[in-house]
Amino acid sequence: MKIALAQLNYHIGNFSSNVQKMIRSIREAENSGADLVVFAELGISGYPPRDFLEFDDFINRCHLALEDIAPHCKKVAAIVGVPTYNKDGKGKPLYNSAAFIANGKVQKFIHKSLLPNYDVFDEYRYFEPNKRFEIIEFQDRKIALTICEDLWNVQDNPLYTVNPMDELMALKPDLMINIAASPFNYHQIEIRTEILRRNAEKYKLPLFYVNHVGAQTELIFDGGSLVMNAKGEIMEELKYFDEDLKIVEVDDIQNGKASTQNEKKLVIGMIHDALVMGIRNYFEKLGFKKAIIGLSGGIDSALTAALASEALGPENVYNVLMPSEFSSAHSVKDAIELAENLQMPYDKISIEEAYSAFESTLKPYFQNLPFNIAEENIQARIRGVLLMALSNKFGYILLNTSNKSEAAVGYSTLYGDMNGGLSVLGDVYKTQVFELAQYINREKEVIPHHIITKPPSAELRPDQKDTDSLPEYDILDEILYQYIEKRLGPKEIIAMGFEEKLVQRILKLVNTSEYKRYQTPPILRVSSKAFGMGRRMPIVGKYLS
């Protein structure tokens, strides 16, 4: 039996596009001699559909889409992820299901048993967990079909009281198929591969795994679908960050040689590819083509511009330099050099006149108080107004350039440099920003060397440096990582050797800045704990604040 793994980039709620992609894959698989083609979890609807699932019309369209696919499955069978109604009369209204289609019609639905309800996942909000375990019989093979999380209860700290594969093994399956929607983070590939390996080794069965690829707003799916033999060795691996289709002969899995292509991936390279795809898909799926960026001559905006140029094409990234009286000549020069290196269009608009107008207007009301953060934020907000005005006038999407270190401690200005339709670097720590810049320059100098080596500065007051307000970024980022990603408390972080007052100050900044993060654009997720839908914190909480 030949199985085709179809790794596709779906678009949430775009049923016609999703169906067309599936039908093309079915035809390609059929023409290549496949017997069964496998698609990813909730492929018909796209993942995650979130509260679209509360609309009967949305679910009905999913079923109409399934009816469109079925007639194309007369010579080749298919497994298709789709939400279905729970007709038992009790429990949640839906199942997260996989339809098995053969001979031109749906033969069986298999429902997901383990529903993740942590981090970015919220499946128990919508779906009822399956409690009846069945296999699929096809061409004298017994297939144990599971859906994503169903294979994840083999960890050392199991989250669930049941293991679907333990139940299915009583039915003596010949192979496992798992359809998934496993979002990318820079630890996930290694973790996911280990989970799949544990399943293959535990049940001594070959495993066929199909994942989503593509970005859905902040969530990025890296693909990496694969086939393992019963020893847990990777026999085939599909592309990362790209659509792919591969056909595998089941009988060859146990006798073939393990793949030599599945070498360990470079973490910073994976983050780079994820961000580029995240930008590209955000624009494509919203129907936009052009981005606008406030290019300051600093490393964050330089990196954002370079990533956007790769994602959208340099001609589609409009850069606006907005110097003030505090901007160094070298920053303007660096920004122009970057734009010219990448052949991106740019303009320079001074904010000095606008800033003077604000100063004059507010002078009677500022009561002769000295220059402080109020004047700094006015400059940032003037820049935000200019960028949004150009965005409105010409239909650009403004890309936010703030990094995760700044977002964590509130080192940014609401309605100023926090503006944007998409936050590109909001899940990238400052130390990683430097690594990404070096990665982009790995073959030639794209980002000017001076941008990378000069001390970071907001340039909102004379001789300003980030270190005036924050510790060195290698120290700050490690404290932030231990608190945000690892969820360690202050005592544990201090025990690692960090100064007590510094730890207390940083954690307080993180928690008291929550109100700002509630008002940020969606952030492309590349870590295991990003700000946004996967980290839900109260604004008025007193803990550590």
Query: Are residues 310 and 234 both part of a single domain?
Result: no
CA atoms within 13 A on the CB side of 271: 26
Structural domain contains residue 17: yes
Domain boundary among 216, 251, 286: 251
Note whether 354 and 217 are same-domain residues: no
Question: Among the listed ranges 129-143, 253-267, 300-314, 470-484, which one has the minimum average pLDDT value?
Answer: 253-267
User: Quick check: 263 pLDDT over 70?
Assistant: no
Query: What backbone torsions phi and psi does residue 96 show, to the nearest 5 degrees?
Result: -90, 110
Q: Give percent helix, percent strand, percent coil of the chain, each to the nearest 5.
A: 40, 20, 40
Comparing C-alpha atoms, which of 112, 106, 115, 45 is closest to residue 79? 106
Positions marked active-site: 41, 112, 148
User: Based on the domain organization, do 288 and 166 belong to the same domain?
Assistant: no
Q: At 63, give phi and psi (nearest 5°).
A: -70, -35
Using CB atoms within 10 Å of the CB of residue 151, give its burial: 0 to 12 exposed, 13 to 18 middle, 19+ buried: buried
Q: What is the mean pLDDT of the chain?
A: 95
Percentage above 90 pLDDT, the chain? 92
- pTM for the model stands at 0.95
Q: Tell whether 355 and 429 lie within a shared domain.
A: yes
Average pLDDT over residues 209-231: 98
Under 8 Å between Cβ of 75 and 38: no
Q: Which pLDDT value is given to residue 254?
A: 77
Overall domain count for the chain:
2
Tens of pLDDT, residue by residue over 11-36, are 999 999 999 999 999 999 999 999 99
Q: In what side-by-side order are the strands of the sheet with 141-147?
A: 136-138, 141-147, 175-179, 207-210, 226-228, 234-237
The answer as to whether 439 is a domain residue is yes
> Residue 308 sits in which domain range?
270-466
Torsion of CA 379, 381, 384, 389, to 10 degrees: -100
Three-state DSSP class for residue 491: helix
- CATH number reported for the structural domain that contains residue 418 in this entry: 3.40.50.620
Do both 299 and 237 map to the same domain?
Answer: no
Domain-located, residue 57: yes
pLDDT at site 155 = 85
Nearest-angstrom CA–CA distance, 483 and 543: 13
Please check the confidence at residue 346 and state whether its pLDDT lies above 60. Answer: yes
Residue 506 lies in a domain: no
- 182 and 49 share one domain: yes
Tell me which of 441, 466, 491 is where a domain ends: 466
Rounded CA separation 145/179 (Å)? 8
DSSP 426: T
Cα–Cα distance measured from residue 218 to residue 262, given in angstroms and rounded to the nearest whole number: 27
Per-residue burial over 266-288, b if 16 or more Cβ lie within 10 Å, else e, is eebebbbbbbbbbbbbbbbbeee
Q: Could you give the CA distance from residue 363 to residue 359 in angstroms, rounded to a whole number?
A: 6
Co-location of 320 and 239 in the same domain = no
pLDDT at 156: 82
- Within 10 angstroms of residue 306's Cβ, the number of other Cβ atoms is 24
Determine the pLDDT at residue 329.
77
d(CA 221, CA 237): 15
Q: What angle do CA 125, 149, 190 make, to 5 degrees?
A: 130
Please compute the mean of the pLDDT values over residues 489-501 and round it to a whole number: 97
Cα–Cα–Cα angle for 244, 246, 248, rounded to 5 degrees: 165
In a domain, 508, yes or no: no
214 and 313 both lie in a single domain: no
Determine, yes or no, domain membership for 544: no
Are 99 and 79 contacting, i.e. CB atoms less than 8 angstroms apart?
yes
Provide the pLDDT for residue 383. 97
Neighbour-count burial for 432-449, b at 16+ CB within 10 Å, e otherwise = bbbbbbeebeeeeebbbe
Q: 326 pLDDT exceeds 90?
A: no
Check residue 456 and give its pLDDT.
Answer: 78
Helix (H) or strand (E) holding 29: helix 15-31
pLDDT band at 171 (very low <50, low <70, confident <90, very high): very high
| Residue burial 455-472, b: 16+ Cβ < 10 Å; e: rest | ebbbbbbeebebeeebbe
Tell me: do 29 and 138 sit in the same domain. Answer: yes
| 293/15 Cα distance (integer angstroms) | 33
pLDDT tens column, 369-421: 999 999 999 999 999 999 999 999 999 999 999 999 999 999 999 999 999 99
Q: Looking at the structure, tell me whether residues 230 and 277 fall in a common domain.
A: no
Residue 413 and residue 516: Cα distance in Å, rounded?
9
- pLDDT tens-digit map of 432-483: 999 999 999 999 999 999 999 988 776 777 777 777 778 999 999 999 999 9
Residues β-bridged to residue 77: 36
Query: What pLDDT is attached to residue 17?
Result: 98
> How many whole angstroms separate alpha carbon 184 and alpha carbon 398?
24
Q: Is the bond preceding 345 in cis, omega lying within 30 degrees of 0? A: no
Eight-class DSSP state of 126: T
Residue 422 forms part of a structural domain: yes
Residue 485 belongs to a domain: no
pLDDT for 192: 97
Residues 310, 173 share a domain? no
Helix segments in 395-447, DSSP class H: 404-409, 430-440
CA–CA separation, 366 and 374 (whole Å): 10
Judge whether 44 and 80 are in contact, CB under 8 Å: yes
Q: At 69, which CATH number?
A: 3.60.110.10
Q: In this structure, are 304 and 196 located in the same domain? A: no
The pLDDT-based confidence of 260 (bands split at 50, 70, 90) is low
